[in-house]
Structure formats: C-alpha cells, structure tokens
Amino acid sequence: MRTREGISLWRQARALVALAVGRCIPPGDVYRFRLYRFPERAWDYVYDHEAAAFHRWRSRFLGDGGASRALLADKRRQSEVLAELKVPMAPILACVPRGTNTVLEPWLTKGERLFCKTRSGSCGIGAFTAWQRGDAIEGRSLSGGALPDTAAVERAWGALLELDDTLIQPWLPNHPRLAPLAAGEDAITVRYISCRQEDRYGCLSATLEVPAGWDGKSGRPLYVILPIEPKSGEIRPLPDFLLLDPEARERHAWSLARLPAKTRVPDWGVLVEASIRAHHCVPNLWAVAWDWVVSPDGPLLLEGNSGWGVATPQMLSGGFLAAEML
C-alpha cells in the first residue's frame, strides 16, 4: 500500500484517525474507498451502517414502501408473485414450517443436491447445501463450514428450522460458459441492481460473484467480483484503481485466465428484462438487488433484496452521494 500509493504509513494513520473519529467512518471503508488519499470524497459515500436509512431516503417520493419490502422479505411469496408474471424463478421444492420435526432425508436422492435457507432474512444465515453419498448425508454451510456426516447435516437442518420457516430448493448448476470461472461447483451469481428514477427503470450496477474456494484459516468462502457491462452483458475485470491484497489479486487473475475475451453473460437480455419486470412489482423502492443463477437452461432468479449492501457498487462507480450520482 505504501509503495503503490506513495503515502507513508504515518500519513495513512493520521488520515484514518481523522476520518474514523472525526466523521465516524469505519476504518475498513477508509481503505475500501481510498479516503486516506482522497479525504475530500468522504461525504460522497454511503457506509454500511447508513445503508438502511439511505435506501428509505432515496425511496421517499415513491410512496409507502412497506408492502414492497414485506413482499421481498418473504422469499416464498415473492417467488409466487413473480412467477405469475413469468419471471423465471429458482424452484422451491417445499416450505417447511418453523419448529416442526420434519426430516430432510425424504427430499434427498442419490446424485442430487439441495439448498436449504430461511424463508425470510438476509445474508444466508444458517443456509447450507446437502447431498447424499452412499448411505450418509453430507453438506456444507453457506458460511463455509463443512457438514461431514448425517449428524452434522441434521444439526444444521434443525438449527434452520428454529430460525424460521425453511425453503428447500434444488442445487443449481452453472451455465457451461461460466462454470470454468469458479473454483468448484458452487453457484455463480449475477447481482443485477435495478433502479427507478421517476417513471424510468434502468441498471444501477451489475456484477458477477464467482466462488473462489475457502479461506484456509477461517474456512469462510472466498469470492471474485467481476463487473458486468449493463447494456451488453460483457464480463470485465475489476478496474485498476481498486486496491486488492496479493491473495485477492491472485484469485482475480485465476478467474480471468479462464475467461475468454468479450465473454457475455448467457441470456443477458432475458435476465435484464425479467429484472425490470420484477421491479414493477415493487415500484415504491428506488433500487432492488436481484440475485440470479444462470443455469444451462437459462437465468433463474433466487430472490430480490431491498436492503442490499452498498459497498461494491460504490467501489466500482463512485459514491452514491456524489453530485453526479444524485
């Protein structure tokens, strides 16, 4: 950092303290947005602890968004409503009520994987993948922890049912054009953030989130984020101005080496049109993050989120509070 930026550690520390203490900016964001170099841009950004208030502020002239947020919070209801509008949805095999003693095994067949998650909530808390190997069940939590045997999977299943109603979905394979980018077989997701300005709907941000293995120390999953050009669907490398640590840079290079030049997300037009159509169901929200898996049979929507994280879009395109963004 010191070598690339040409800024001494003392100057970085002085800027960090001034921004963290004087303006209540999380230290991680000082580096994420390079504010130690450009402190005058500190007011251009929305930080994670401000995101919920910011989303409501941006939606303030669009009417009461309570019903729209409630629809997106209920993943089963959201799936039913959007499916009626011909938005291609990831299948839901079952919705198991919270607190029941239902077992997972009847939905498992040899050679098939399942993905289990709560009906509401965000960040995939408690979610996991499970599959049958011989007479045993194995799995892996979305947070990266291995579920090595039937007992571990059953504990994860029971914990999920204590949190909320639980949705059971089939594991979705990646489109063969995208599959080589990932380290393993976990789903590559497209995050398409649609936005509304007056009566026009467009794209605020589009990115590909590529699984890149697991951290050797913490066991947590690692990802590579690749920007997508909104009009063409072309997958592009991260901009040079973003600072990556050596390991992140290596993961990024690994995925890019498997990406032919000018590669586009398959069926991009279908995904874009369906995202905009879905946003019309929640018109009181200024922007919605739609998470898609592009399967061999085409895009399938996992879910839409009203309280999406603001860091990545701002890292790629600039602060949401900058004059040119408002």
Q: Across the 326 residues of the chain, what is the mean pLDDT of every consecutive 10-residue run?
A: 72 91 93 92 95 96 94 97 97 96 88 92 89 91 91 96 96 96 93 95 98 86 96 95 88 93 96 98 97 98 96 96 80
Q: Which fold has domain 49-88+173-325?
A: D-amino Acid Aminotransferase; Chain A, domain 1 (3.30.470)
**Count of residues for the chain?**
326
pLDDT of 145 reads 87
| Domain positions in the chain | 2-44, 49-88+173-325, 94-170
Cβ neighbours for 85, distance < 8 A, ≥ 6 positions apart = 277, 278, 281
Q: What are phi and psi of 112, to 5 degrees?
A: -115, 140
Chain centre distance of CA 27: 23
Q: What are phi and psi of 117, to 5 degrees?
A: -150, 165
pLDDT of 268 reads 98
Output the CA–CA distances (angstroms, integers) from residue 100 to 75, 103, 139, 159, in the order listed. 19, 9, 21, 11
pLDDT of 326 reads 66
pLDDT of 3 reads 64
- Scan for tokens 């922890």, then name that residue: 145
Q: Report residue 90 as tokens.
A: 């990831």
pLDDT of 25 reads 96
pLDDT of 8 reads 82
- CA dist., res. 284 & res. 57, Å (int): 12
Beta bridge partners of 136: 133
Count of CA atoms in the C-beta half-sphere (13 A) of 233: 15
Per-residue three-class SS string for 95-137: EECCCCCCCCHHHCCCCCEEEEEECCCCCCCCCEEEEEECCEE
Q: Cα dihedral sign for 220, 19, 44, 36?
A: negative
**Residue 322: Cβ-neighbour burial (10 angstroms; 0-12, 13-18, 19+):** middle
Count of CA atoms in the C-beta half-sphere (13 A) of 101: 0
pLDDT of 241 reads 83
The amino acid sitting at 300 is L
pLDDT of 311 reads 96
